Amino acid sequence: MFAKFCLMGNKKAQEFLELSDFNSSLIKTIPFGLDIVDENGNILFLNKAMESIVGRDAIGKKCWELYRDDRKQCKDCPLIKGIKVGETSSINSGGVLGGKTFRISHTGMVYHGKKSVLEIFQDVTEFIAIQKKLKQANEELSAALKVKSEFTSMVSHELRTPLTAIKEGIGIVFDGTAGSLTKEQTEFLSIAKRNVDRLARLINDILDFQKLEAGVIAFNIQENSINETVKEACKMMTGLAGEKGLKLVLNLDEKLPRLKFDKDKITQVLENLVNNAVKFTKNGSITVVTRREDNAVHVSVEDTGLGIKEEDLPRLFQKFSQLESGLERKTGGSGLGLAISKEIIEKHKGKIWAESKEGKGSAFHFLLPIAERKG
Amino acid sequence: MAKKKILLVDDERDLVEAVKFRLEANDYDVIAAYDGQEALDKARKEKPDLIILDLMLPKMDGYKVCAMLKRDSRYSTIPIIMFTARAGDSDAKLGKEMGADAYITKPFEPKALLDTIKELIK
């Protein structure tokens, strides 16, 4: 070392000393055990942190004899494969220091002329325990959602049963099958009938949403044309729009690739969005647009309706969210349509959002990712 | 011409009363049954022109009744409309597998029921 020192110029010597200083400070400061072992696992060097882990008389002893509960070499010990100088990798070693798990990162190097391995030991026992707890909690949550979903199915069936009898009872009187009615009788029966239907829709939506949330709905993902799906969904909606004197316009990019999605479910989303647009638009038009956007297809339903207040925007896709104006409830919505649409789009790994300016209309957008073709 | 006979099977008596009234007002003869076993017995005895069958029945569920009738060549030609909880569900698929000719979800639009009956009854 002294010879080397003399041979270098002053500047180089200074750099050398600084590097040396840096290295020793590094070894002293890192909060992990560090050692250097030879090809046979004998410890050649260890830092203070490692000393407090395995004891002071470690030099010359085999690392696993001091460190492992079973005193045997680690299953994936890097020495088994032979040392490659400059190569770094890591293994997890359990059954260490009283059942703990350590992550050992190691690099092949040359130490005092011998091929050796530098090892750094990180205690990951707690981390692994937390990971396990998290996995368990997720499994419990999943199971709970399924139980909730079964309960909801049962309840919805029980609710539908008397509802059917009520609907039939009212219907028979309302449409004159049981005799003619006065104007007032017709009017009030009509109110009852409307609300029976509303209740039925609400029950369906709750069940739908529950099942989606619990992941018990099997999605039928097939290759489909999004434009065809849009056209079919809108065919049914054109009548509804026409009744209010609204135009339903389609602006579809003909060069879109075929996507993989569940046709029924995406139709449900489109119907929900167009239905909402019709509900909240007094005059003008509703436009459905499809276009390519990077690695996805972008679909938007734009209307010239009332628009949505800025403060209502963030809560739109939540369960049972109703707008400030109460208009949603007045028009018989269940408050779940958008929540259901969000679940469907997100289960397709897509994104759904809304943009609006109060008084100027709204636009509801969703993205469906294009599946990467393999090969 | 003799009136067409419909066998109406549901354990909810209120609903049976209402549907029976409507069907009779539409010129059908209606026989009621309130459980799976009664449904089978009456189907075999009365040989109706059409059967409306609910799924959840005591003694024997709707799927079983449907399957048994469809397997018997004496009754397999009788069209069966199944009342299901929700279309598109596994209920409907299973119904079709059991041989049901159509299914109606509850609560139903009266026109839908009447139209389906008209289509299936010969």
Measured distance CA(A307)–CA(A325) in Å, rounded? 11
A161 CB within 8 Å of a chain B CB:
yes
* Mutation target vs B (from A153, A164, A195, A208; most B CBs, 10 A cutoff): A164
List the structure tokens of A178: 């049981």
Render pLDDT for A67-111 as a digit per residue (tens, 0 to 9): 888 888 888 888 888 888 888 889 898 888 888 999 999 999 999
Q: Do B18 and A156 touch (CB under 8 A)?
A: no
- The secondary structure of residue B76, as a DSSP letter, is T
Chain B residues touching residue A204 (CB < 8 angstroms): 86
B87 interfacial to chain A (CB closer than 8 Å): no
* pLDDT reported for residue A2: 63
pLDDT band at A188 (very low <50, low <70, confident <90, very high): very high
The pLDDT score that the predictor gives to residue A7 is: 60
Confidence of residue A133 (pLDDT cuts 50, 70, 90): very high
The number of C-beta contacts closer than 8 angstroms across A and B is: 50
Q: How many whole angstroms separate alpha carbon A158 and alpha carbon A165?
A: 12
Residue % of chain B over a pLDDT of 90: 70
Does A178 contact chain B (CB < 8 Å)?
yes
Q: Is B104 strand, coil or helix?
A: strand
Tell me which amino acid residue A202 is. L
Q: Residue range A322-340: average pLDDT?
A: 71
> CA of A179: which chain B residue's CA is closest?
B25
Mode of pairing for the β-strands spanning A296-303 and A361-369:
antiparallel
Contacts of B19 in chain A (CB under 8 A): 168
Does B22 sit within 8 Å of A164, measured CB to CB? no
CA distances from B22 to A170, A177, A180, B13 (A): 11, 7, 15, 14
Is A86 exposed, middle or buried (CB count within 10 Å of its CB: 0-12, 13-18, 19+)?
Answer: exposed
The rounded mean pLDDT for chain A is 87
Using the predicted structure, report yes or no on whether residue A299 has a pLDDT greater than 60.
Answer: yes
Check: CB of residue B86 under 8 Å from CB of residue B94. Answer: no
Q: Which helix (H) or strand (E) holds A145?
A: helix A125-174
Per-residue model confidence as pLDDT tens digits over A240-264: 888 888 989 999 998 888 889 999 8
pLDDT at residue A328 is higher than 70: no
- The three-point CA angle A94-A95-A99 to 5° equals 110
Q: Which of B22, B25, B106 sits opposite A164 (nearest CB)?
A: B106
pLDDT of residue B117: 95
Supply the pLDDT for residue A5: 56
- The model's confidence at residue A149, banded by pLDDT at 50, 70 and 90, is confident
CB-based contact, B13 to chain A, within 8 Å: no
Q: What is the mean pLDDT of residues B68-82?
A: 93
| pTM (whole model) above 0.80 | no
Among A33-37, A278-282, A296-300, B23-27, the range scoring the smallest mean pLDDT is A278-282
pLDDT over 70 for what percent of chain A? Answer: 94
pLDDT, one tens digit per residue, over A10-50 is: 888 888 888 999 988 988 888 899 999 998 889 999 998 89
Contacts of A178 in chain B (CB under 8 A): 21, 25
Residues of B within 8 A of A156 (CB-CB) are: 85
What ipTM describes this predicted complex?
0.85
Per-residue pLDDT at A375 exceeds 50: no
Sheet of A351-357, strands arranged across: A247-252, A285-293, A296-303, A361-369, A351-357
Closest-CA distance of chain A to residue B113, Å:
11
Residue B30 touches partner A, C-beta closer than 8 Å: no
Q: Is B106 on the interface with A (CB under 8 A)?
A: yes
What's the token pair of residue A55?
């004891």
Helix (H) or strand (E) holding A199: helix A183-214
Range B69-89 average pLDDT? 83
Give the closest-approach CA distance of B105 to chain A in angstroms.
Answer: 10
Q: Is B53 exposed, middle or buried (0-12, 13-18, 19+ CB in 10 A)?
A: buried
Residue of B nearest to A193 (CA): B109
Q: What helix, strand, coil percent values describe chain A, rounded to 5? A: 45, 25, 30
Q: Between the CA atoms of B71, B74, B75 and B76, what dihedral angle is there, to the nearest 10 degrees?
A: 50
d(CA A141, CA A158): 26
* CA pair distance A165, A230, nearest whole angstrom: 36
Tell whether the model's pLDDT for residue A326 goes beyond 50: yes
Residue with tokens 């009938």: A193
pLDDT for A257 equals 87
pLDDT at residue B97 greater than cutoff 50: yes
Q: What is the DSSP string of A218-277?
A: PP-EEEE-HHHHHHHHHHHHHHHHHHTT-EEEEEE-TTPPPEEEEHHHHHHHHHHHHHHH
Is the previous residue joined to B107 through a cis bond, with omega within 30 degrees of 0?
Answer: yes
**Residue B42 confidence (pLDDT) above 90:** yes
What per-residue confidence (pLDDT) applies to B92? 64
Contacts with B, A 36-75, CB within 8 Å: none
Most B-contacting residue of A168, A263, A271 (CB-CB within 10 A), to test interface:
A168
Q: Higher model confidence: residue A208 or residue B114?
A: B114
Q: List CB contacts of A179: < 8 A, sequence separation 6 or more.
A: A173
Backbone angles phi, psi at B9, to 5 degrees: -120, 115
Mean pLDDT of A310-332: 72
Query: Cβ contacts (< 8 Å) between B14 and chain A: which residues?
Result: 162, 165, 169
